[in-house]
Structure 1
Amino acid sequence: MSSSPVEDRYVVVVNHEEQYSVWFADRALPAGWTATGARGTRQECLDHIEQVWTDLTPRSVRTSR
């Protein structure tokens, strides 16, 4: 991911259901979401999510199978 502060405008966040999203780096995280450590441009964050979020099924559904 990018290392320039100007380009690190977004962070990748995840919730308790292991669902991913992109959030603004300069804003407080919404309740229930945790930063993953990945950051960069919006597209870089989306690319990262595409690589790591391979099963879109919520965690609670996956574990109840």
Structure 2
Amino acid sequence: MVYYRVVVNFEGQYSIWPAEQQNPPGWRDGGKTDTREACLDFIEEVWLDMRPRSLRRPVARQVRERWGSG
């Protein structure tokens, strides 16, 4: 059976990588090693906002500036 690892980069983007290989540069373990399907299911559960982190922060700041913090 082939196993994969969930990996995540500095932008908070998720992917899968063969478990027997080192993580690609710029990617760290994302919390799951399992079959391809199980890893993809995990990503679907945890990756709720697919925008890169660098885009999420400015948008959140604009919302706070316009509407206040709550």
TM-score after normalising by structure 2: 0.79
The structure whose Rg is larger is 2
Distance in 2 (CA, whole Å) between partners of 1:32 and 1:45 is 19
Segments of 5+ residues of structure 1 without an aligned counterpart are: 1-5
Runs of 4+ residues over 6 Å off in structure 1: none
Identity %: 49
**Counterpart mapping for 1:1-65 below 5 A:** 6=1, 9-65=3-59
Q: Structure 2 regions of 5+ residues with no counterpart?
A: 60-70
Cα-Cα RMSD: 1.1
Structure having the higher helix fraction is 2
Instruction: Give the number of the structure with larger relative contact order, counting CA–CA contacts within 8 Å between residues 6 or more apart.
Output: 1
Aligned pair count reads 59
If the length of structure 1 is used for normalisation, what is the TM-score? 0.85
